[in-house]
Structure 1
Amino acid sequence: MNAFVRIVDLGSFAKAAEDLRVTPSALSKLISRLEDRLGVRLLTRTTRRLAPTSEGSLYLERAREILELIGRTEADVSSARSQPKGRLRINSSTGFARQTLLHAVPAFLHRYPEVSVDLTLTDRLIDPVAEQVDIVIRGSPSAGSDLVVRKLAEGRRLICAAPSYLERAGTPLSAADLEKHNCIALLSQSPTTWPLAAENGLVRFQPKGTFSCDNVGMLFDMAIAGQGIVRLADFVVGQAVREGRLLEILTDINRSDTISLWVLMPKGRFHAPRVQAFLDFMEEWLKEANSADVTA
């Protein structure tokens, strides 16, 4: 198409061949093959004149439109390297989304105004390929062979409660004290235990209370409402602790192994500029949040 347009624009096979850096004979053969494939003559050629036929004029008009569209498309794709754009589809657990993404996503969109975000919330692990999601954020690195897995951040689990609850029920100072408190635990098939240091070594405290739930976001809401004590990842409760809406307790006996936050991505979307921009932004955001925790 480009060769045909250049021939018509320059009015000569010789000039078009020079412009395209091919020989006139090669260019002539190219147009002949194009005409044979279409089954029509596109150009009328004489010793003094070259002009498109009626079919050639129609082909010329459509070819210009197509070439212009290709040019714009390539320009858009190239510019996306330096300026991410397009729709980013994210799936997250409810607790992380409501307490961290709630604050991070608006800042991300402000930095990258040409990106839009579709956010879905589920606590079960989904297949990002089947669900057509760019990024899945979870606390588990399990993935299929067709996925890219990347660690986003490391953290720990905090034991905390709302100031209103502690004023009403008192602040526990030991594992034995926790037996007297309403502990809000994650509902799961295997019993949930909290590793705590005691005089005779490490104990696995089994939280008991009037409420349990399989949704981390709901556990957080109940704690904020002053309904009891929770032990949740700092990815979930960190912002509330920094703001004083929750108070971290039992810091000297809480034994939390390092926990990781993972992202799962389809291999074909891992290198998309909008995906890379979001991952880099979230690593920076979480690092700053952890620094604030250390400073506090």
Structure 2
Amino acid sequence: MASSEDMKAFVRIVDLGSFAKAADDLRITPSALSKLVSRLEDRLGVRLLTRTTRRLALTSEGTLFLERAREVLELIDLAEADVASARARPKGLLRVNSSTGFARQTLLHAIPEFLRRYPEVTVDLSLTDKLIDPVAEQVDVVLRGSPTSGSDMVARQLAESRRVICAAPSYLARAGTPCSATELTGHNCIPLSGQSSMTTWPLASGDDLVRFQPSGNFGCDNVGMLFDLAVQGHGIVRLADFVVGQAVREGRLIEILADINRSDPISLWAVMPKGRFRAPRVQAFLDFMGEWLEA
């Protein structure tokens, strides 16, 4: 039977793609690590890795063993976290993944304060607007506008917000301020492409609800880029208050059409692998972000 240390060594080799890098990470020699894997393969009676001078490749048995090894190591981490969480101080490396817009406009301000409060924690922040697999990407917390499903995941709602229609003062001074859905038609509206829920803007028109189709000379699937375009005066955007709220409060953006903008509440979720949910550094980050967003 493989020990947890053997499993941990095997997983590190796969994750880092190199015996030399994994050996350095585990603080053993490459030859010792190679012998460890050979003994593991001998005990299992199968080949786990195909090794050449240029690359490593998993065999079909290696792929299955990797999946099961990750599950076992996650369970060990969970057991240790359960025992230690009552007394442990938040410390160690916290890996967080976020959408670019939320990171640049909210986490940019929140994380420095979090680190001041918890000086023994180090944050590694990765940014992408696409959904990721926290287990495969070795991420502790994923922050997104919708929870990721799956029995191996834990989702916690951190806050609720709304979408805001806004533009820079320079744009409104140049193009005028629309007061209705009809007047909005003549403006340069910058849509968030690639998301079906954002293809139309729900606006009230008398007793009716109009599904306004935003159109302009530019579109983008990156929230951070849309924010920058709006601040620079290129057009009108409709983005979450999580993203534009600070800029609105500072006057860099001005909210418009607030009386007719109809937006269902949108939530911010933290999604985590079950094995990391109870780690003190993760719990501290979740509690802090909940407080920060509420404030």
The TM-score normalised by the length of structure 1 is: 0.69
**2:169 pairs with 1:158:** no
Give the Å deviation of 1:189. 6.2
Q: Residue 291 of structure 2 aligns to a residue in which SS? A: helix
Please name the residue that 2:222 is paired with.
215
Opposite residue 217 of structure 2, the aligned amino acid is: T
The 3 A distance-change label for structure 1 pair 83 and 93 is: same
**2:236 pairs with 1:229:** yes
- Distance in 1 (CA, whole Å) between partners of 2:127 and 2:261 is 29
Please name the residue that 1:246 is paired with.
253
Give the Å deviation of 1:140. 1.4
- Distance in 2 (CA, whole Å) between partners of 1:170 and 1:230 is 15
Return the match for 2:151 from 141, 145, 148. Answer: 145
Pairing 1:110-129 to 2, within 5 Å after superposition: 110-129=116-135
The 3 A distance-change label for structure 1 pair 85 and 254 is: same
Alignment deviations for residues 233-273 of structure 1 (CA, whole Å, 9 cap, x no partner):
00110111111110101010000111111111000100000
Give the Å deviation of 1:80. 8.2
Return the match for 2:104 from 85, 98, 109. Answer: 98
Contact conserved, 1:94 with 1:122, CA < 8 A, in 2? yes
Following TM superposition, where does structure 1 have runs of at least 4 consecutive aligned residues deviating by more than 6 angstroms? none
Alignment deviations for residues 182-202 of structure 1 (CA, whole Å, 9 cap, x no partner):
001011264700000002511
The 3 A distance-change label for structure 1 pair 125 and 189 is: closer
**2:207 pairs with 1:205:** no
Return the match for 1:108 from 109, 114, 118. Answer: 114
Opposite residue 266 of structure 1, the aligned amino acid is: P
Alignment deviations for residues 2-47 of structure 1 (CA, whole Å, 9 cap, x no partner):
xxxxxxxxxxxxxxxxxxxxxxxxxxxxxxxxxxxxxxxxxxxxxx
- Distance in 2 (CA, whole Å) between partners of 1:124 and 1:103 is 22
Higher relative contact order (CA 8 A, sep 6+): 2
Alignment deviations for residues 209-253 of structure 1 (CA, whole Å, 9 cap, x no partner):
001001111000100110000000001101111111101010100
- Distance in 2 (CA, whole Å) between partners of 1:193 and 1:202 is 12
Opposite residue 232 of structure 2, the aligned amino acid is: A
Pairing 1:276-295 to 2, within 5 Å after superposition: 276-288=283-295
Q: Residue 185 of structure 1 aligns to a residue in which SS? A: coil
- Distance in 1 (CA, whole Å) between partners of 2:210 and 2:84 is 57
Please name the residue that 2:38 is paired with.
none
Structure 1: unaligned runs, 5 residues or longer: 1-73, 289-296
Number of residue pairs the alignment of both structures matches: 213
Give the Å deviation of 1:78. 5.2
Contact conserved, 2:158 with 2:269, CA < 8 A, in 1? yes
Contact conserved, 1:81 with 1:273, CA < 8 A, in 2? no
- Distance in 2 (CA, whole Å) between partners of 1:136 and 1:88 is 11
Structure 2: unaligned runs, 5 residues or longer: 1-79
Opposite residue 268 of structure 1, the aligned amino acid is: G
Contact conserved, 1:184 with 1:212, CA < 8 A, in 2? yes
Contact conserved, 2:191 with 2:220, CA < 8 A, in 1? yes
Opposite residue 119 of structure 1, the aligned amino acid is: L
Pairing 1:50-65 to 2, within 5 Å after superposition: none
Return the match for 1:274 from 278, 281, 293. Answer: 281
Opposite residue 284 of structure 1, the aligned amino acid is: E
Contact conserved, 2:85 with 2:278, CA < 8 A, in 1? no
**2:181 pairs with 1:175:** yes
Considering only CA atoms, is the larger Rg found in Structure 1 or Structure 2? 1
**2:272 pairs with 1:265:** yes
- Distance in 1 (CA, whole Å) between partners of 2:120 and 2:89 is 8
Q: What is the root-mean-square deviation in Å for CA atoms of aligned residues?
A: 1.6
Please name the residue that 1:89 is paired with.
95
- Distance in 1 (CA, whole Å) between partners of 2:234 and 2:263 is 23
